[in-house]
Amino acid sequence: MKINVSIEATAQEMRDFLGLPNVQPLQDEMMQIIRDNVQKGVAGFDAVSLMRPLLPVQLPSMEALQKTFWDAFIQVGKPSGSSANPATHEAAPGAGDK
């Protein structure tokens, strides 16, 4: 038996239905801070610094965050039994040899 259910709802209605928190006030506040700093032309303003308190301590830089994402993508996309080395983003030696 196959059943299809079609629901027409806005994103906010779905968040409410699923019980997800309303993050709109937080988004509005973050956007206002970014706008204010950009308009002031703050020297050395870095939008990533706003997100730093939300990142784990183990991720000290944006490069570390990018590496973590790449490692996760490689791990998910790697077929089972693959010999790829996610730490270096390269195949293991001899993996491409015929």
Quote the tokens at residue 92: 């293991």
Amino acid at 68: T
Angle at 20 between CA 16 and CA 22, to 5 degrees: 75
The residues spanned by each domain of the chain are: 11-76
pLDDT for 33 beyond 70 = yes
Q: Is the dihedral of CA 25, 28, 34, 38 positive or negative?
A: negative
Check residue 58 and give its pLDDT.
62
Check residue 4 and give its pLDDT.
93
* Beta partners for residue 84, in sequence order: 91
What pTM does this model have? 0.35
Euclidean distance between CA atoms 4 and 2, whole angstroms = 7
Euclidean distance between CA atoms 34 and 46, whole angstroms = 9
pLDDT for 41 beyond 50 = yes
Average of per-residue pLDDT values in the chain: 75
Check residue 65 and give its pLDDT.
74
pLDDT for 37 beyond 70 = yes
Nearest partner of 27 among 45, 15, 41, 17, judged by Cα = 15
Question: Quick check: helix, strand or coil at residue 7?
Answer: coil
